[in-house]
Structure 1
Amino acid sequence: MYKHILALSCSAILALGSSALLADDDVRMDEVNGLVEQGTIQSLESLNEKALAVQPGTITDTDLDKHYGRFIYEVEIRDAQGQEWDIDLDASNGDVLEHRRDD
């Protein structure tokens, strides 16, 4: 009985650790061209244009992450009034996932 409990506990710990690894991974810039060439994600230029169409201003930061197997392109934009905005796009199709003012 003890062996079964120990085995289940170890399995649960490994599963939780694995899901944490899959939950949020930064994509390295050297990987981006391959993802674009494979058609996995849109070009960063295209995604930047889509973000600016949603929120005009100046892009101050970008980040490409993989969340639970989905590529998310995060864009920070400063508008003409100096307000910061965060835009999250699905990097595969450019759909806007979130558009929020940064507090």
Structure 2
Amino acid sequence: MKQLNIFTKSVLLAALAVAVTPALADDDDRIYAQNHAQYITHQAAGEKALQQVGGGYVKDVEFEYHDFSKKEYFDVEVIDKKGQEFDVRLDARTGKVIRVKRDD
């Protein structure tokens, strides 16, 4: 009987974890859509990142929002004219470059 009780509790905990997971999912796209007037565009973020590394092409642009720290930024992956990849982080409101990191 005791083993069945432990098994039942384990199943219930697993079901609860599955039910809660969507609530913890990445909500960045929704936040950007609801507040887009406060932020630069994805295109502007890509253009600023390209300027920062001296040209090339944009591989990816992602808006990031961290609820705990209230930080909002764009992470932009850029391939420069020499084929080197860079991650450029920009302030989502101002477009100011926060960080440039070359991927090795």
Q: TM-score interval w.r.t. the shorter chain?
A: 0.5 to 0.7
4+ long deviations beyond 2 Å:
30-34
Aligned-residue sequence identity (percent) comes to: 32
Q: 1:26 to 1:96 in 2, by over 3 A?
A: farther
Match of 1:66 in 2: 65
Greater gyration radius: 2
RMSD: 1.8
Count of residues in Structure 1 that have an aligned counterpart in Structure 2: 77
The offset of 1:76, in angstroms, is 0.4
Match of 2:36 in 1: 36
Per-residue Cα deviation, 1:48-74 (whole angstroms, up to 9, x for no partner): 211111111111112111131111100
TM-score normalized by the length of structure 1: 0.65
> 2:88 matched to 1:90?
no
Q: 1:26 to 1:86 in 2, by over 3 A?
A: farther
Show structure 2 runs of 5+ residues with no match: 1-23
Q: Distance in 2 between matches of 1:26 and 1:85?
A: 25
Structure 2 counterpart SS, 1:53: helix
Q: 1:44 to 1:84 in 2, by over 3 A?
A: same
TM-score normalized by the length of structure 2: 0.64
